[in-house]
């Protein structure tokens, strides 16, 4: 379980984190969403005990990052957004080095290496030099490293950044597997639809503040009051009548061909009433649908498109 | 087989000996020693390859080899240590290392010992060449051991300074320049300060102003070259004490100074490698 209490971090006059409060329960995959510079990496660095907060504290499984930083380090597996590897080590030696850095015995290390390599699908690369691995493989090897000491909490800062589509899919599959084994995962990404697929909850951070937090459906619902509707008219039908009808309802609409895009502020009942009235007026409607919002839209709506 | 308990040390040694640079540095080191040794014999024998080398000349050979080795150590140590932490930072591997369970001391100690063990290997590799002095008399095994012991003290102190600079300074190149600067201060500037402080306490007519000269004594004691000369030639040490009117043997101040520097540097590096979370 992760409990963040009033975490504040300033760089001069710039407030990177502004009294951030957040709780992530055990076994939850939590997606941290925010524009560049919103405070995601700062939060993760503080949780990984790499950066001291100016105010506040965070508890990982009840251990304070301030008072019990050594114990916190033992409980977490941290993967930064940018990282290097020791190119002249072989994949298994790389894992062995980090495992021994956590005080694991040789016997345990030798048992754990095949397991984590299998999980990240790198078994056949065990004796390859890290230098010879592709970018995606290095990312997965780094993820394997975070798993060597079997931490309770994984803190993954943009684990899929810079990967090609295939490597992203592979990384996503690995994260799905980790979710299955019940790890508490804190993950940030700009690949928001991917987060939507794998996260139980998301938190949206903007200018150091958590501006939305909860399960994905709840956040999408919270934003669903502002809808985009697509109304398709019969081919060659007159669009002016429909446009006049929408204007009478004080709805903003744009037209492209026979499709009208309408900004609608109302629930499903209001949508039903609008459609019913339009049909009663014999408007030439052949299609009426709400544009589904994915996490990308949610993110853009919450952060008002700042990036 | 003794299992290396320090993961950083084990990793560093593995990486170091997978690099061709390490072997080429050993070759360069041995070639330098060889060139000086062979050159000495050629000069002494008027390039005839035949002649007689007595104990007095052998002491000169010993002095030359000791100073060549000391100089190589002084120039190689900053290069090997001043990038120990900052290179990890530049290659973005340090953050990952710092989130492991290793204590700050384990990381610093691992980095230090890996550099020191490589430098010790250099000294060890050079021993067959430098032990040529035993063939011509005038040098006792204790002289030989003592010069190596003092070299190791300097080596460890300079390595600690390099590690500290590498911890405090983000960029390797700046850390390296700073460490070389400190090395030059200890070898060149202190010798200059000896001269200056002695001059200040001497009258314009050359007459002694009398009294103890603790500053001159201190700079003599911490200068690795002057101190090494005093180890090989005891009369240098005696003259130093006479000129400065001090009683404490140079080696006592020398060892104390470098031990304090070593402890201080490692302590500060250990305290600063990680942020203080409290």
A250 and A190 within one domain:
no
Q: What residues of A are in contact with residue B3 (Cβ under 8 Å)?
A: 106
Q: How far apart are CA B46 and CA A30, in angstroms?
A: 81
Domain boundary among A152, A182, A213: A213
Residue A187 lies in a domain: yes
Query: pLDDT at position B210, please?
Result: 65
Quick one: closest CA in A to B16, which residue?
A88
A33 and A159 within one domain:
yes
* Average pLDDT of the segment spanning B263-273: 97
Residues 42-71 of A with CB under 8 A from B: 45, 48-52, 65-67, 69-70
Residue given tokens 């080696």 in the structure block? B251
What proportion of chain A, given as a percentage, has pLDDT over 70?
91
Domain boundary among A213, A242, A260: A213
A202 and A113 within one domain:
yes
C-alpha torsion B58→B60→B64→B69, nearest 10? 50
Instruction: Please check the confidence at residue B205 and state whether its pLDDT lies above 60.
Output: no
* Average pLDDT of the segment spanning A19-29: 91
Q: How far apart are CA A27 and CA A152, in angstroms?
A: 9
Q: Best residue in A50, A110, A129 to probe B by mutation, most B CBs within 10 Å?
A: A50
Tokens of A37: 């510079």
What proportion of chain A, given as a percentage, has pLDDT over 90?
41
Residue A307 lies in a domain: no
Quick: pLDDT tens for B1-11.
Answer: 445 689 999 99
A147 and A52 within one domain:
yes
Quick: pLDDT tens for A167-220.
Answer: 778 777 888 888 888 889 999 876 666 677 778 888 888 888 888 888 877 776
In this complex, do A84 and B274 lie within 8 Å of one another by their Cβ atoms? no
Q: What residues of A are in contact with residue B274 (Cβ under 8 Å)?
A: 49
- Yes or no: say if B64 and B36 are a contact pair by the CB < 8 Å rule: yes
Query: pLDDT at position A237, please?
Result: 82
Q: How many CB atoms lie within 10 A of CB B188?
A: 12
Q: What residues of A are in contact with residue B97 (Cβ under 8 Å)?
A: 101
- Yes or no: say if A119 and A174 are a contact pair by the CB < 8 Å rule: yes
- Yes or no: say if B108 and B265 are a contact pair by the CB < 8 Å rule: no
Quick one: closest CA in A to B87, which residue?
A84
Q: How confident is the model at residue A306 (pLDDT cuts 50, 70, 90)?
A: very low
Helix, strand or coil, per DSSP, at residue B212: coil
Query: pLDDT at position B56, please?
Result: 85
In this complex, do B277 and A49 lie within 8 Å of one another by their Cβ atoms? yes
A273 and A294 within one domain:
yes
Q: How confident is the model at residue B229 (pLDDT cuts 50, 70, 90)?
A: very high
* Average pLDDT of the segment spanning A19-27: 91
**DSSP output for chain A:** -EEEEEEEEEETTEEEEEEEEEEE-TT-EEEEEE-TTSSHHHHHHHHTTSS--SEEEEEETTEETTT-HHHHHHHEEEE-SS----TTSBHHHHHHHHHHHTT--HHHHHHHHHHHHHHTT-GGGTTSBGGGS-HHHHHHHHHHHHHTT--SEEEEESTTTT--HHHHHHHHHHHHHHHHTT-EEEEE-S-HHHHHHH-SEEEEEETTEEEEEEEHHHHHHHHTTEEEEEEEEPTT--SHHHHHHHHHTT-EEEEETTEEEEEEES-HHHHHHHHHHHHHTT--EEEEEEPPP-HHHHHHHHTTT--
Nearest to A74 among B8, B15, B101 (CB): B101
Q: For the whole model, what pTM was predicted?
A: 0.83
Q: What residues of A are in contact with residue B10 (Cβ under 8 Å)?
A: 97, 100
Higher pLDDT, A87 or B204: A87
In this complex, do B14 and A66 lie within 8 Å of one another by their Cβ atoms? no
Tokens of B63: 């002095």
Q: How confident is the model at residue B149 (pLDDT cuts 50, 70, 90)?
A: very high
* Lowest-confidence segment of B136-140, B165-169, B234-238 by average pLDDT: B136-140
Q: How many domains does chain A have?
A: 2
- The domain that contains A245 carries what CATH number? 3.30.70.1150
A145 and A36 within one domain:
yes
What are the backbone angles phi and psi of residue B277, rounded to the nearest 5°? -75, -15
What proportion of chain B, given as a percentage, has pLDDT over 90?
72
Q: How far apart are CA B12 and CA B87, in angstroms?
A: 12
Q: How confident is the model at residue A307 (pLDDT cuts 50, 70, 90)?
A: very low
Nearest to B99 among A73, A84, A85 (CB): A73
In this complex, do B101 and A70 lie within 8 Å of one another by their Cβ atoms? yes
Query: pLDDT at position B2, please?
Result: 46
Query: pLDDT at position B1, please?
Result: 43
The angle, 0 to 180 degrees and rounded to 10, between the axes of the packed helices B55-81 and B141-168 is 20
Closest CA to A95 of A71, A128, A132: A128
Query: pLDDT at position A235, please?
Result: 84
* Average pLDDT of the segment spanning A135-151: 91
A230 and A190 within one domain:
no
**Four-residue CA torsion sign, A267, A273, A292, A206:** negative
Quick one: closest CA in B to A86, which residue?
B93
Q: Best residue in A9, A49, A98 to probe B by mutation, most B CBs within 10 Å?
A: A98
CB contact A85 to B (< 8 Å): yes
- The domain that contains A188 carries what CATH number? 3.40.50.300
Quick: pLDDT tens for B44-70.
Answer: 888 877 777 888 888 999 999 999 999
In this complex, do A52 and B277 lie within 8 Å of one another by their Cβ atoms? yes
Query: pLDDT at position B23, please?
Result: 92
Closest CA to B223 of B249, B250, B202: B250
* Lowest-confidence segment of A153-167, B10-24, B99-113 by average pLDDT: A153-167
DSSP strand pairing (A153-157 vs A184-188): parallel
Q: How far apart are CA B142 and CA A83, in angstroms?
A: 50
How far is B177 from chain A, CA to nearest CA, in Å? 25
Quick one: closest CA in A to B102, which residue?
A101
* Average pLDDT of the segment spanning A112-117: 93
Per-chain mean pLDDT for chain B? 90
Residue A145 lies in a domain: yes
Quick one: closest CA in B to A79, which residue?
B96
Query: pLDDT at position B106, please?
Result: 94
Its domain, for residue A269, covers: 224-302
Q: How many CB atoms lie within 10 A of CB A284?
A: 16
Query: pLDDT at position A295, please?
Result: 60
In this complex, do B278 and A103 lie within 8 Å of one another by their Cβ atoms? no
Higher pLDDT, A233 or A175: A233
Closest CA to A204 of A296, A290, A112: A296
Per-chain mean pLDDT for chain A? 86
Nearest to A52 among B15, B103, B276 (CB): B276
In this complex, do B11 and A89 lie within 8 Å of one another by their Cβ atoms? yes
Q: In what order do the strands lie in the sheet with A55-60?
A: A14-24, A2-11, A55-60, A63-64
Extents of the domains making up chain B:
7-273
Instruction: Please check the confidence at residue B13 and state whether its pLDDT lies above 80.
Output: yes
Q: How confident is the model at residue A4 (pLDDT cuts 50, 70, 90)?
A: very high
Q: What residues of B are in contact with residue A89 (Cβ under 8 Å)?
A: 11, 14-15
A228 and A79 within one domain:
no
A138 and A23 within one domain:
yes
Q: How far apart are CA B165 and CA B183, in angstroms?
A: 12
Quick: pLDDT tens for A92-112.
Answer: 999 999 999 999 999 999 999
A254 and A150 within one domain:
no
Q: How confident is the model at residue B186 (pLDDT cuts 50, 70, 90)?
A: very high
Residue A24 lies in a domain: yes
* Average pLDDT of the segment spanning B267-273: 96
Q: What residues of B are in contact with residue A101 (Cβ under 8 Å)?
A: 7-8, 97, 100-102
Quick one: closest CA in B to A55, which residue?
B278
Residue A73 lies in a domain: yes
A147 and A13 within one domain:
yes
A76 and A19 within one domain:
yes
**Four-residue CA torsion sign, A53, A57, A59, A63:** positive
**Four-residue CA torsion sign, B173, B177, B183, B186:** negative
Query: pLDDT at position A293, please?
Result: 66
Domain boundary among A213, A236, A255: A213
| Half-sphere exposure (Cβ direction) of B135: Cα atoms closer than 13 Å | 10
C-alpha torsion B190→B167→B102→A65, nearest 10? 130
């Amino acid at each position: 379980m992760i409990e963040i209490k009033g975490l504040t971090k300033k760089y001069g006059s710039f407030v990177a984190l502004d009294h951030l409060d957040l709780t992530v329960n055990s076994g939850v995959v939590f997606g941290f969403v925010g524009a560049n510079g919103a405070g995601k990496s700062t939060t993760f660095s503080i949780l990984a005990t790499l950066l001291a907060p100016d105010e506040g504290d965070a508890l990982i499984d009840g251990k304070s990052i301030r008072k019990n930083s050594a114990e916190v380090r033992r409980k977490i597996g941290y993967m930064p957004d940018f990282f290097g590897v020791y190119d002249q080590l072989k994949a298994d030696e790389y894992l062995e080095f980090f495992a021994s850095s956590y005080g694991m015995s040789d016997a345990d290390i030798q048992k754990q290496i095949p397991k984590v390599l299998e999980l990240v699908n790198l078994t056949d690369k065990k004796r390859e030099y890290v230098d010879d691995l592709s970018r995606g493989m290095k990312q997965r090897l780094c993820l394997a490293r975070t798993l060597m000491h079997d931490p309770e909490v994984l803190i993954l800062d943009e684990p899929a950044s810079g990967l090609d589509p295939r490597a992203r899919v592979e990384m996503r599959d690995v994260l799905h597997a980790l979710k299955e084994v019940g790890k508490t995962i804190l993950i940030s990404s700009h690949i928001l639809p991917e987060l939507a697929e794998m996260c139980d909850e998301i938190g949206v951070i903007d200018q150091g503040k958590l501006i939305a937090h909860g399960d994905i459906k709840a956040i999408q619902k919270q934003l669903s009051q502002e809808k985009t509707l697509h109304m398709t008219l019969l081919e060659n039908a007159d669009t002016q009548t429909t446009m006049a009808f929408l204007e009478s309802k004080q709805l903003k609409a744009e037209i492209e061909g026979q499709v009208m895009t309408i900004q609608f502020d109302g629930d499903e009942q209001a949508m039903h009433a609008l459609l019913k009235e339009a049909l009663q007026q014999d408007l030439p409607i052949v299609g009426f649908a709400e544009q589904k919002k994915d996490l990308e839209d949610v993110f853009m709506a919450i952060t008002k498109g700042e990036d | 087989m003794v299992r290396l308990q320090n993961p950083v040390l084990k990793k560093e040694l593995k990486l170091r000996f997978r690099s061709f640079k390490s072997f080429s540095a050993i070759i360069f080191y041995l070639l330098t020693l060889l060139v000086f040794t062979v050159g000495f014999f050629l000069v002494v024998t008027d390039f005839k390859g035949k002649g007689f080398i007595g104990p007095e000349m052998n002491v000169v050979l010993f002095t030359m080899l000791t100073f060549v080795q000391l100089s190589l150590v002084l120039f190689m140590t900053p290069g090997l240590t001043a990038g120990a932490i900052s290179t990890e930072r530049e290659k973005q591997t340090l953050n990952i290392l710092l989130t492991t369970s290793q204590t700050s001391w384990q990381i610093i100690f691992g980095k230090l010992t890996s550099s020191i063990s490589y430098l010790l290997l250099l000294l060890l590799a050079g021993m067959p060449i430098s032990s040529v002095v035993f063939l011509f008399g005038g040098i006792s095994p204790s002289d030989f051991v003592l010069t190596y012991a003092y070299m190791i003290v300097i080596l460890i102190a300079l390595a600690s300074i390099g590690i500290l600079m590498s911890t405090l300074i983000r960029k390797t190149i700046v850390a390296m320049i700073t460490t070389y600067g400190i090395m030059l201060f200890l070898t060149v500037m202190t010798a200059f300060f000896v001269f200056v402080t002695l001059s200040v306490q001497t009258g314009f007519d050359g007459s002694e102003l009398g009294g103890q000269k603790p500053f001159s004594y201190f700079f003599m004691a911490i200068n690795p070259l002057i101190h090494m000369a005093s180890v090989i030639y005891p009369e240098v040490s005696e003259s130093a004490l006479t000129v400065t009117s001090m009683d404490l043997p140079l080696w006592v101040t020398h060892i104390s100074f470098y031990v304090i520097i070593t402890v201080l540097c490692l302590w500060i590096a250990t305290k600063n490698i990680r942020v203080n979370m409290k």
